[in-house]
Structure 1
Amino acid sequence: LTAAAALPPADADAAQRATDEATRRLREASAAEDAARTRCAELDGLTRQAVTGARELAPLREAYERVARLANLAAGTSSENEHRMRLESYVLAARLEQVAKAATARLSRMSAGRFTLVHSDARAGGRARSGLGLHVIDAWTGAERDTATLSGGETFSASLALALGLADVVTDEAGGTRLETLFIDEGFGSLDEQTLDEILDVLDSLRERDRCVGIVSHVADLRQRVPVQLEVVKSRHGSTLHHRSVPVHG
């Protein structure tokens, strides 16, 4: 009792404040616990949804991967597509083979039997796409090479042969509908005299089959081979057009 009597008097207000603070913290802790329990329940629900969604997604993912694989193959971007050939290129390649075959009949005559056009699906270098390549077989060397190695005159002959071959294939595919008119713009200046004669013989054979062949050129030698001509004459007052017919010397 003596010791208790020696203690300072109790501070009731401080005790009340401490009690109030403890009560407040208890309420906050209780509220936090309730919130945590609610979050746990929500997370449990989301977990169940995620598991269910993953199960439902599995067949969709398999379907997507299958379609994506086919799409990449068709686009020529898949590593499984060894030639990096697009689907449309694959389809067109068959038609290009027909065009090359028809063109060879013309090119062989233009080149005195030297060149044959063939379709090539060889893989292109770098990031270039493959499938619609053209090579020539050179009868003089027996080698097959890219058309890019042809000279200017040879390239013109090959291009003309391809145009004629395409016209033949289109005619066959269109149920006999003929492409009646063909215009050729320049290119004759790169030809030697023998090649020029051979190409004009081919064009003459088209004209004899009632096809109209128009030639745009500055080559003077053509004037002796073209029976009907439209000549553009320049002057200081402008250009004038002259129509004339000339006797043809074969």
Structure 2
Amino acid sequence: EKIIEAAKRELETQQTVIQSQISEHEAQLARMPALEEELNEICHVLAEIDKSQEQISAKREQNQELLSQIHRLESLCAQFVEEVRTLEEKIALLAQSGAHCPLCQSELGIEGRERLQGKLRSEKETKTEALHAKREELGQKRLEYQAANSNLVRKEDTVNNERIDKQSQASTVRNKINEIGQADKEISEKRAALNELAKFLTDQDYAPSQRQALAKLKREEAELGYDRERHHRVREQLDKLQRYEEDKRELDEANQLRDREKVALVDAEQAISDLCSDMNEYVEQICKLEAELDSLPDIASKLVEAEQSRQTLASNWRSSYDRLTQLRMKLRQYGELENTKRSYERHWRQALEEEQIYKELTEAFGKKGIQALLIERSLPEIEAEANKLLGKMTDNRLTLRLETQRETKRGESIETLDIKIADELGTRSYEMYSGGEAFRIDMALRIALSKLLVMRAGASLSTLIIDEGFGTQDSSGREKLVETIDSIQDDFDKIIVITHLEELRDAFPVRINVIRTAGGSTISFD
């Protein structure tokens, strides 16, 4: 019967527990709207935090733009400083006696020097004023950047901390909502279990083996003629006798307790002795403490001084920390400036290398470079070929010489290209010869130059065209020109001579006659 009652109580306990769990889950479900509203509010706050973060990002971009402006202003200031220094050097050079014009290298007079100095001083003042203005603007931009950056760092820390806090709250609320959702799923299961337990209790469908055993015992009791009253009387006598057994057990425990108390008494006496010894030591310590109490006012004054020192150190620490923060900001700025400086130095070195390359190219392609080298190597060939032709046309009476340098009045050598012609009267310039002689000289130079160009091009000069020029020659000169043309005819496939002189018609084997008529020009071949 006890087992059956215990099984019943267990089922009732399970029923109570399940009912309590259902009530708890229902209470949690009742909190669901409030939790969802709280989660929506947290999400709204997080959205506002995201907007704040976007604003911070926008402000950071503005700060970066401000930093770029600061770098540009620093670069402009450095450029202005360099330009002012250059102008000062130019002014100092002009102040020296015997200053020369930077363009033509001619010596400047007093008036020219003063005019140039005034122009440079005016330009220097303009650059200096611009430098001061840019430095003031740079100082304002730096202060603005420092204030904005400090404010931005504070805002960013605040927003990050608030984000972390709200995200933690949102995670907690979501976990609770998930738990409630899980509890909602469990309620139906709990209710089904509760109904099943109620059915077991109603139908008394529990402890079946014990119930079968109880029914069997009742049948055996009826068969044996069991007397319940006699059984109770025997049990009461047994309970009375059981009291003496309890007294015996208590007596044994009292004897054991007495032995333990004796041992405890010995320990207590030893503890009393130890306490007396400790008390004597405490009395001595009290005497010492009383002596120290006499010096307490000095300690109090020292404590006040120590507190003042602590406050001073705390104030100094805060000041040092603020200064450290400023120095860290400056150090970060200097690091950025150092990176910018390295970038500028790299570009500067690259520009220097390119400048050197361009200087070399300018020199190579300038007057004194490849052109001068080509002319210097070509002139001897032109000169030799021209003298060969000129000798044929003048019976070796005229020779020419090509000069590429000449001395100035100051004794300096400059690049030039002069034609010197010599005859039996001596060497004279090209302008001093007659038209016929000049024509022969021109013809010799042009043919020589044409041959050189064609030879350099890897081709051959197949056609020579001579247009007029014979009118400037006397009869002897014309004969010499015709002889010269005949002498060089093997060098060309065709030589075409254009002239209006009748006496030259029979000088060449083939003639093309161009005759102007009223109806237009006609040609004929002889």
TM-score, with structure 2 as normaliser: 0.34
1:87 equivalenced with 2:370 (yes/no): yes
Distance 1:56 1:210, change over 3 A: closer
Which of 468, 478, 483 is matched with 1:186 structurally? 468
SS at match of 1:228: coil
Higher helix share: 2
8 Å contact 1:206–1:213 — kept in the other structure? no
8 Å contact 1:118–1:135 — kept in the other structure? yes
SS at match of 1:121: strand
Residues 41-84 of structure 1 deviation map (CA, whole Å, 9 limit, x = unaligned) = 664244212331244345424423321321231243xxxxxxx4
- Unaligned 5+ residue runs, structure 2? 1-145, 153-325, 409-413
What amino acid maps onto 2:488 in structure 1? L
8 Å contact 2:400–2:422 — kept in the other structure? no
8 Å contact 2:515–2:523 — kept in the other structure? yes
What amino acid maps onto 1:223 in structure 2? R
1:198 equivalenced with 2:488 (yes/no): no
Q: Tell me how far apart the structure 2 counterparts of residues 170 and 239 of structure 1 sit (CA, whole Å).
A: 36
8 Å contact 1:93–1:119 — kept in the other structure? no
Deviation, 1:123, is 5.9
Distance 1:49 1:112, change over 3 A: same
Deviation, 1:106, is 0.7
1:74 equivalenced with 2:364 (yes/no): yes
1:218-229 aligned within 5 A:
218-229=500-511
Distance 1:191 1:39, change over 3 A: farther
SS at match of 1:203: helix
- Unaligned 5+ residue runs, structure 1? 1-29, 77-83, 245-250
Residues 144-179 of structure 1 deviation map (CA, whole Å, 9 limit, x = unaligned) = 53x35443222221222123324554676677x653
Distance 1:241 1:173, change over 3 A: same
Q: Tell me how far apart the structure 2 counterparts of residues 155 and 236 of structure 1 sit (CA, whole Å).
A: 38
Q: Tell me how far apart the structure 2 counterparts of residues 210 and 68 of structure 1 sit (CA, whole Å).
A: 44
What amino acid maps onto 2:374 in structure 1? V
1:32-71 aligned within 5 A:
34=150, 40=330, 43-57=333-347, 59-71=349-361
Higher strand share: 1
SS at match of 1:122: strand
What amino acid maps onto 1:121 in structure 2? T
Q: Tell me how far apart the structure 2 counterparts of residues 212 and 192 of structure 1 sit (CA, whole Å).
A: 25
What amino acid maps onto 1:34 in structure 2? S
Q: Tell me how far apart the structure 1 counterparts of residues 515 and 377 of structure 2 sit (CA, whole Å).
A: 46
Q: Tell me how far apart the structure 2 counterparts of residues 161 and 236 of structure 1 sit (CA, whole Å).
A: 39
Which of 386, 400, 404 is matched with 1:103 structurally? 386
Cross-structure match for 2:243:
none
Cross-structure match for 1:3:
none
Residues 104-156 of structure 1 deviation map (CA, whole Å, 9 limit, x = unaligned) = 1011221232322333212699xxx956x2513313233253x3544322222
Cross-structure match for 1:234:
516
Residues 202-231 of structure 1 deviation map (CA, whole Å, 9 limit, x = unaligned) = 111233677432101112221131222111
Give the superposed CA RMSD.
Answer: 3.5
SS at match of 2:525: strand
SS at match of 1:64: helix
Distance 1:62 1:32, change over 3 A: closer
8 Å contact 1:106–1:202 — kept in the other structure? yes
8 Å contact 2:467–2:497 — kept in the other structure? yes
Q: Tell me how far apart the structure 2 counterparts of residues 89 and 229 of structure 1 sit (CA, whole Å).
A: 43
- Identity, in percent, stands at 23
Deviation, 1:243, is 1.3
Q: Tell me how far apart the structure 1 counterparts of residues 500 and 382 of structure 2 sit (CA, whole Å).
A: 29
8 Å contact 1:228–1:243 — kept in the other structure? yes
Deviation, 1:180, is 3.3
Q: Tell me how far apart the structure 2 counterparts of residues 149 and 52 of structure 1 sit (CA, whole Å).
A: 66
Distance 1:197 1:50, change over 3 A: same
1:116 equivalenced with 2:399 (yes/no): yes
8 Å contact 1:117–1:137 — kept in the other structure? yes
Cross-structure match for 1:153:
436
Cross-structure match for 2:63:
none
Cross-structure match for 2:32:
none
SS at match of 1:85: coil
Q: May I ask how many residue pairs the two structures share in their alignment?
A: 202
8 Å contact 2:383–2:401 — kept in the other structure? yes
- Mark the structure with the bigger radius of gyration: 2
Q: Tell me how far apart the structure 2 counterparts of residues 124 and 35 of structure 1 sit (CA, whole Å).
A: 74
8 Å contact 1:102–1:169 — kept in the other structure? no
Q: Tell me how far apart the structure 2 counterparts of residues 191 and 143 of structure 1 sit (CA, whole Å).
A: 21
